[in-house]
């Protein structure tokens, strides 16, 4: 039987309805809901012949384990993920691809925020270890506003080995670290590029860091020593976008 995942929240369900409606199995919405945006989503789903059902708030909460679901939940057919081999083949056909590697992240909110930025910037693929948090977590989809469902994703068994294969294919690998000396703005991101973001608190694993061509940092002027993982991810990715848009 095919696995299904849940997404919740108006923005997440709307994005899925607009861009991946073929994956939506059914939409559940709160009975007697007065929100016009929710009603609009249901009208759109009806036009696409997608099943919908009015349910209690207790039922919605039982699906996604949170009451903060904005009164709407959708079930999706399982997303297709790339593995190491198919990811490399896919990237070979893109000019100067941009890859985001999440090394050992396990906070679903940070992962979701990274996905949202990655999709906004135009990252070609997000790479994550298969031993980490399940990407079917509805929290990831909610925080990312559905971007985790729309962004190409590779799940690999060994991040360091995958980085090695990227380098063989001409990629430059840049790892982000609070303790590095090289300013992230001093790097040229015009070629095939992979940005590596380490976990909350611990940063990149040692073996991952050793595989990077350069370790970069975001200079801090205040008294705090570091940025939140997802914020740092956004800062670096938008520098990549700025450089590439200036060509």
3-state helix, strand, coil in the chain (%, to 5): 40, 25, 35
Answer whether residue 1 shows pLDDT above 50.
no
The CATH number of whichever domain residue 234 belongs to comes to: 3.40.1280.10
| pTM attached to this predicted model | 0.83
In this prediction, residue 133 carries a pLDDT of 66
Partners of 51 in the β-ladder: 26
- When divided into structural domains, the chain yields a total of 2
Do 116 and 175 belong to one domain?
Answer: yes
Over residues 165-224, the pLDDT tens digits come to: 999 999 999 999 988 889 999 999 999 999 999 988 888 999 999 999 999 999 988 767
Write out the residue range of the structural domain in which residue 35 sits: 5-76
Among the candidates 48, 76, 104, a domain finishes at 76
Question: What residues have CB less than 8 Å from 36, skipping those under 6 apart?
Answer: none
Among the candidates 43, 76, 109, a domain finishes at 76
Do 131 and 197 belong to one domain?
Answer: yes
Instruction: Yes or no: say if 79 and 19 are a contact pair by the CB < 8 Å rule.
Output: no
Do 58 and 144 belong to one domain?
Answer: no
Partners of 175 in the β-ladder: 196, 215
Alpha-carbon distance of 142 to 140, in angstroms, equals 6
In this prediction, residue 102 carries a pLDDT of 96
Answer whether residue 149 shows pLDDT above 80.
yes
């Amino acid at each position: 039987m095919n696995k299904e995942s849940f997404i919740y929240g108006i923005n997440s369900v709307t994005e899925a309805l607009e861009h991946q409606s073929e994956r939506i199995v059914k939409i559940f919405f709160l009975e007697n809901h007065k929100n016009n945006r929710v009603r609009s989503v249901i009208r759109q789903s009806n036009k696409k012949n997608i099943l919908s059902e009015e349910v209690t708030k207790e039922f919605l909460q039982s699906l996604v384990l949170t009451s903060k679901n904005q009164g709407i939940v959708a079930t999706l057919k399982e997303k297709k993920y790339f593995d190491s081999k198919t990811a490399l083949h896919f990237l070979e056909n893109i000019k100067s691809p941009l890859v985001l590697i999440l090394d050992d992240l396990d906070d679903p909110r940070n992962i979701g925020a990274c996905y949202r930025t990655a999709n906004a910037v135009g990252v070609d693929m997000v790479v994550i270890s298969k031993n980490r948090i399940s990407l079917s977590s509805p929290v990831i989809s909610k925080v990312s506003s559905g971007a985790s469902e729309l962004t190409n994703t590779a799940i690999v068994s060994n991040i360091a080995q995958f980085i090695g294969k990227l380098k063989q294919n001409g990629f430059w690998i840049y790892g982000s670290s609070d303790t590095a000396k090289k300013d992230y703005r001093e790097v040229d991101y015009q070629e095939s590029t992979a940005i590596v973001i380490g976990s909350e608190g611990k940063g990149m694993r040692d073996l991952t860091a050793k595989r990077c061509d350069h370790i970069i940092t975001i200079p801090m002027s205040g008294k705090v020593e570091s940025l939140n993982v997802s914020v740092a991810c956004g800062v670096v990715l938008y520098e990549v976008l700025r450089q590439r848009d200036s060509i």
